[in-house]
Structure 1
Amino acid sequence: YIMSQMAGAVMAAYFLKILFPDAVSTVYLGTCTLGEGVVFWKAALIECVVTFLFVFTIYATAVDKRTSKLLAGVAIGLVFLFGVSVSTTISGGALNPVRVFGPAVVSDHFDYHYVWWVGPVSGAVAAGFLYGKVFKQKSEEKKLL
């Protein structure tokens, strides 16, 4: 799945390069960059936090069998919008390392590229771990009682 997503991101970036050749030198085909004066660890931290909130919302609304799925899409979309809005000026608001990978490969712009892998991956893992170990277990314990 991850390899397919990466291949798709690279193909999409090549398509963008064909459509907008000047975008390679001006905005690196939309790859994320650090905000002015932002150090790498702050960008990684904001990516971690907003990705944590995004993935946690997915687990709480779409994955958890105890919840109604009626508004899951709205909740997930709003949290994603919030995450991108909050993090855009700091880290570019990726919330997905592959979103940065495709344009970086095609534009050959890898400055601080690890930020968009370390931040979102650690945030997603933390959200999955917390939801699985704390929130999901508590609901299963209540069912047994």
Structure 2
Amino acid sequence: MVNPRAWLAEAIGTYALVFFGPLSIIIAIAMFGLSMGPEALLIISFSHGAVIGLMVYVFGHVSGTHINPAVTIAMMATRRINVKDGGAYVAFQLIGAVAASATLAAIAPTFGAQVNYGVQEGPSEFLDSSVASGFVVELILTFFLLTTIFMVAVHKKAAAGFAGIAIGGTIFLIHLVGVPLTGASVNPARTFGPAVVSGYWDYHWMYWAAPIIGALIAAFVMNYIFVKKAEKEN
């Protein structure tokens, strides 16, 4: 069933993520400088977790609040969403992401340009700038994001009303440990929007491939080992 309202919900939800998430980075560097101190890290991590957690409650009943191509691709692969809606979800997620980054470029050009409007800039020195290590980090972080989504939002026996808190909390944790390592994308749209506006495309492939692979692994494990079993019991 094709659902244009859900497509719009995905665009708005992704806009919120790519606006408030990178805006927190811009604010952090304006307040604390380019060094990633604990205060800046907490602001960035909390902002990303909060906006995604809130969007789950705002649009979860409309579109499922994927706001992430890796999530949508995993849902298509496990037949939780049809291909027509899934393709439109991804397209509207990317549109929302680019629109959000363009807004940041318009309202905060100076400080925004210093951080390429929030685009992830590849593996850090903590990983010896290793692409292989960065790829594994992004894959693992996305695996646990999708694990949370399937077990708290898809699983029929999950406690009602806690999906936004659990998913937002997972995003908070992912950014707390992942920002110093890879910038913590776990979402191709989150990287794509700032990349389009800033023109920074280094390592861009990694922020598509690793989250999608991590999402697919988690989706198949959680769906066919845990979620399907609960559905059969019901």
Q: TM-score if structure 2 supplies the norm length?
A: 0.57
- Bigger relative contact order (CA 8 A; separation at least 6): 1
Backbone CA RMSD of aligned residues: 1.7
Aligned residue for 1:18? 106
- 1:57 corresponds in structure 2 to 148
The 1:30–1:130 alpha-carbon spacing in structure 2 relative to 1, beyond 3 Å, is: same
Q: 1:24 offset after TM fit, Å?
A: 5.4
Q: Which residue of 2 aligns with 1:94?
A: 185
Q: Contact conserved, 2:156 with 2:227, CA < 8 A, in 1?
A: no
Question: Quick one: distance in 2 between partners of 1:112 and 1:42?
Answer: 12
CA contact (8 A) 1:84 1:95 kept: no
Aligned counterpart for 1:41 among listed residues 124, 132, 151? 132
Identity %: 34
Q: Contact 2:155/2:230 (CA < 8 Å) preserved in 1?
A: no
What is the number of equivalent residue pairs in this alignment?
143
| Cα deviations by residue, 1:27-69 (Å, 9 ceiling, x for unpaired) | 1111011213321121111111111101111110111112222
The partner residue of 1:116 within 188, 207, 216 is 207
The CA distance in 2 between the partners of 1:122 and 1:47, in whole Å, is 10
Between the aligned partners of 1:5 and 1:139, the Cα distance in structure 2 is 30
- Please list every run of 5 or more consecutive structure 2 residues that lacks an aligned counterpart in the other structure: 1-88
Matches within 5 A, 1:64-143: 64-139=155-230, 143=233
CA distance in structure 1 between the aligned counterparts of 2:161 and 2:203, rounded to whole angstroms: 39
Amino acid corresponding to residue 134 of structure 1 in structure 2:
I
State the Cα distance separating 1:140 from its structure 2 match: 5.2
Q: Distance in 2 between matches of 1:14 and 1:128?
A: 32
How far did residue 13 of structure 1 move? 0.9
Mapped partners of 1:137, 1:25: distance in 2: 46
Unmatched segments (≥5 aa) in structure 1:
none
